[in-house]
A and B are shown apart, each in its own frame.
Chain A
Amino acid sequence: MAELIAAANLTKHYPTSRTTRQMLRGERPVVRAVDGIDLVIQRGESVGLVGESGSGKTTVGRLLLKLTEASGGTLNFDGAAVSGLSGDSLRRFRQQAQLVFQNPFDSVNPRFTIRRAVAEPLINTGVPRAERDGRIAEAMRLVHLGDFHRYADKHPSELSGGQLQRVVLARALVGRPSFLVADEPVSMLDVSVRAGILNLMRELRDRLGLTALYISHDLTLVRYVCERTLVMYLGRIVEDGPTSEVISRPAHPYTQALIKAVPRPRTDQSREDLPISGGLANAVSPPSGCRLRDRCPYAFARCAQEVPALLEVAPGHRAACHLTSPANAAAA
């Protein structure tokens, strides 16, 4: 498999408001939304990105799509540096890399017909009018709205949430992209509908061989679509591995807590206290060393001094924890 996306030390800092004292001292505090992540996504891979609100997962998605400029690090898409794209090369990139939004009701223009909404990427990339209807029908078939003419002239308000999310997917697919970022694609949908969209995303993954990044706060959902999962905490990737491994043998204390915290749909479930306490630290002045250390029950002196590297704990499974990575443990 060839790399489609390769990021090294990718960083995004947002400036934040300053106090008078900080201004006088010339300090420029920043929110470290994404703070040096290395990430490689192979062609055809479906990767889940999991974390709490404020972990930086949405910012990673936006960086990969060049919807926001990185503050540091490098990002290559299909071998070319994303920061260097402009004009025609940027337009080609925009067609190749597409975003699926969280809330279908907010992301389709209510005045557009479904045909017009799905046509948007084709219009932007200059696909001739004569070809458009065929391409739209093809995309609608992919998302199981095959009876295209039934929907073509309707408006978003006439569709159910599930149908509209399929339209949003069709719009992302109509330009035949090679990379898709889906930011919480089912979290706004009802359970009975959510299952259908998850099944559809699995099917698209298998049929089109799409490379995709699924951003979600819910490991349960990622599990149905992604063979590999990344866990983010406060701007850093803390665990990366095959989804089934990450869920059955989580190596990082944060991932362990995330998995333990998920309520299960049956009454005989563990109600033990979570291993970690408190809430997310401040991303303006995060703790030194390991960012989880103030909440972690296993933290020791080294966690405050040294940032744990993302090291292999099993084949293809890496974690950034001084305790669980064998290399780290040997050095300690």
Chain B
Amino acid sequence: MTTALLSVSDLAVTYRTQAGLVAAVDGVNLEVPAGAMLGLVGESGCGKTTLARALMGVLPGNARVSRGRIVLDGTDLQALSAAKRRALLWRDISFVPQSSMNSLDPVYRMRTQMREVLCGRGDLSRGAADTRAADLFQAVGLNPVRLNDFPHQFSGGMRQRAAIALALALHPKLVIADEPVTALDVIVQRQVLDMLRRLGEDMNLTAIFVTHDIAVVAYLCTVTAVMYAGRIVEYGPTADVLARPAHPYTMGLMNAFPDLEGPTQDLAPIEGSPPDLHTPPTGCRFAARCPFVQPVCTTTYPAPTDVAPDHWAACHRVGEAETLRAQATEAATWQS
């Protein structure tokens, strides 16, 4: 991992709500190396989607970036005007949503929607656009004949493939996919994952996959970032993070995750729920649920600490990670 294509530093996104300001993303530091597939993992409400939308510059009206920098391939995105920022969409940053029904327009044929991106955003001629669209459909495993169809004529998996084809249309530098396979059945999910893996290798894609499914990250992603309550708590090469998690939250997620192999003893749930971000706790945000909590954890936020090459975790007890890992595998540890 040498050059970062995307580098995010101390990013904070604040929502204005009736109950006051909420920082859904609060001090995120993240690097996405060129050519990497980064898995962004976390529970609902931890700020994954807000972070993804902030990167694209498409936050809802009551949210704004209140702090921090987003640098894509040397360009500081926060310094750009709104119009320039919008112009980056599809060309430099593209998006695959969870439910592609939301991104595909039901009243237009796929060909029209492809043209809209290719001609409207990419300045291709109609003929060139149609050729490119056919190539893209082929690449994602769809028959180019289906370009004449409407989205409702596609199955769920096909729709997701079409949404991926759209996202890849203009060779974007970065693709952000929000739960791209969550709504799919296992077999279809696997087919789409295999296709993404192949595309990643063939096109040297840089992508961020937002997901709550560790297994999907393990299958597809080279780098993993674990998010909790608006912050990244652990980051590193996927193999290393999953085999040697250094943050207790990551350990907890791994233990709670059901597997198809191994003994079926009780899974260890992480008791409690994430903190209310209207009044975020001082200190480590996982402290209230962490079985390894110490006094310092409730007063000071732990600085990210390296545990291996390119692998860091934000935990005060990161030096004892090996001992904690052993304890974390026992369900009793997690019972409060």
Q: Which residues of A contact B (CB under 8 A)?
A: 52-53, 160-162, 190-196, 198-199, 202, 217-221, 223-224, 247, 257-269, 271, 273-274, 276, 279-280
Q: 23 A-B residue contacts at CB 8 Å?
A: A52-B187, A52-B188, A191-B253, A192-B270, A194-B269, A198-B267, A219-B260, A224-B267, A259-B260, A261-B190, A262-B186, A263-B189, A263-B190, A263-B215, A263-B219, A264-B218, A264-B261, A266-B243, A269-B218, A276-B187, A279-B155, A279-B157, A279-B158
In the complex, A273→B198 CA distance in Å?
Answer: 12
Interface centre among B156, B216, B219, B239 (most CB of A within 10 A): B219
Residues 241-282 of chain B: 1 if any A CB is under 8 Å from the residue's CB, otherwise 0? 011000000001111111111001011111101000000000
Q: Which residues of the other chain, A, contact B44 by a CB distance below 8 angstroms?
A: 161, 190
Contacts of A258 in B (CB 8 A): 186-187
- Chain A residues near B156 (CB-CB < 8 A): 53
In the complex, the chain A residue whose C-beta lies closest to that of B44 is A190
Q: A190-B212, A192-B270, A224-B267 are in contact. Are A262 and B260 (CB under 8 A)?
A: yes
Asked if A224 meets B264 with Cβ closer than 8 Å, knowing A53-B185, A267-B238, the reply is yes
* B43 beta carbon closer than 8 Å to chain A: yes
Query: From residue B291, how far is it (CB to closest CB) to chain A in Å?
Result: 13
Q: How far is the CB of B134 from chain A (nearest CB, A)?
A: 21
A276 to B187, CA, bound (A): 9
Residues of A within 8 Å of B155, CB to CB, are 279-280
B32 contacts partner chain A, Cβ-Cβ < 8 Å: no
CA A271 to CA B190, docked complex, whole Å: 9
B255: which A residues are within 8 A, CB to CB? 195
Contact among B187, B214, B256 with A257 in the assembled complex (CB-CB below 8 Å): B187
Please tell me if the beta carbons of A220 and B258 are within 8 angstroms of each other in the complex.
Answer: yes
How far apart sit A271 and B221, CA to CA, in the bound complex (Å)?
A: 13
How far apart are B206's CB and chain A's nearest CB, in angstroms? 19
A190 to B270, CA, bound (A): 10
Nearest residue in B to A163 (C-beta to C-beta)? B273
The smallest beta-carbon distance between A154 and chain B, in angstroms, is: 15
In chain B, what residue has the closest Cβ to A244? Answer: B264
- Contact-size category for B: 35 or more
A52 touching B185, Cβ below 8 Å? yes
Rounded to whole angstroms, the CA-CA distance of A300 and B43 in the bound complex is 46
- B62-109: which residues lie under 8 A (CB-CB) from chain A? none
Are A192 and B253 CB-contacts (below 8 A) given A52-B185, A52-B186, A261-B190? Answer: yes
- Check A192/B269 contact, CB under 8 A, given A265-B214, A265-B257: yes
Q: Which residues on A sit within 8 Å (CB–CB) of B266?
A: 199, 202
Contacts of A262 in B (CB 8 A): 186, 190, 215, 260
Knowing A191-B256, A258-B186, A261-B186, the reply to whether A267 touches B218 (Cβ < 8 A) is: yes
From B186, B257, B271, B273, name the one whose CB has the most chain A CB atoms within 10 angstroms.
Answer: B186
Find out whether the CB atom of B269 lies under 8 angstroms from the CB atom of A267. no
B14 contacts the other chain (CB 8 A): no
Could you say which residues of chain A place their CB within 8 Å of the CB of B197?
271
Within 8 A of A (CB), among B207-251: 212-216, 218-219, 238-239, 242-243
- Specify which chain B residues have a CB less than 8 angstroms from the CB of A220 in the assembled complex: 258-260
Rank and list the top 9 A-B pairs by shortest CB-CB distance, nearest first: A196-B269, A195-B267, A195-B269, A192-B270, A263-B215, A261-B190, A263-B219, A195-B256, A52-B185
Pick the contact of A274 from B190, B260, B268 — CB < 8 Å?
Answer: B190
Closest to B42 in A: A190
User: What is the CA–CA distance of A273 and B44 in the complex, to the nearest angstrom?
Assistant: 31
Given the interface pairs A191-B214, A266-B242, A271-B219, the reply to whether A261 lies near B189 with Cβ below 8 Å is yes
- Chain A, residue nearest B237 (CB): A267
Contacts of A217 in B (CB 8 A): 185-186
Tell me the chain B residues, 159-212 only, with Cβ under 8 Å from chain A: 185-191, 193-194, 197, 212
Task: Look across to chain A and name the residue whose beta carbon is closest to the beta carbon of B289.
Answer: A192
A156 to chain B minimum Cβ distance, whole angstroms, is 15
> Could you tell me if B43 and A192 are in contact, using CB atoms closer than 8 angstroms?
yes
**How far, in angstroms, from A202 to B269 measured CA to CA in the complex?**
14
Point out the residues of chain B lying under 8 angstroms from A280, CB to CB. 155
| CB-based contact A267/B261 at 8 Å | no
Query: Roughly how many angstroms separate A160 CA and B213 CA in the complex, as a whole number?
Result: 20
Chain B residues near A162 (CB, 8 Å)? 273
B242 touches A265 (CB 8 A): yes
Output the nearest chain A residue to B43 by Cβ-Cβ distance: A190
Report the Cα distance A261→B194, complex, angstroms: 10
Residues of A near B243 (CB, < 8 A) are: 266-267
Q: Which of A52, A195, A261, A271 contacts B258 (CB 8 A)?
A: A195
* B259→A274 contact, CB < 8 A: no
Tell me which residues across on chain A come within 8 A of B194, comparing CB atoms: 271, 273
Q: How far is the CA of A247 from the CA of B258 in the complex (A)?
A: 14
Chain B residues within an 8 Å CB radius of A194: 256, 258, 269
Closest to B224 in A: A267
**A279 CA / B156 CA spacing, docked (Å):** 10
What's the Cα separation between A191 and B44 when bound, in Å?
10
CA distance in complex: A247, B254 (Å)? 21
Closest chain A residue to B186 by CB distance? A261
**Chain A residues whose C-beta falls within 8 Å of the C-beta of B215 in the assembled complex:** 262-265
Q: Is there an interface contact between A279 and B238, defined as CB atoms closer than 8 Å?
A: no
Q: List 16 additional contacts besides A193-B269, A261-B189, A263-B219; criterion CB under 8 Å.
A: A53-B185, A191-B253, A194-B269, A195-B258, A195-B269, A196-B271, A199-B267, A223-B260, A257-B187, A258-B187, A262-B186, A262-B190, A267-B243, A271-B197, A276-B187, A279-B157
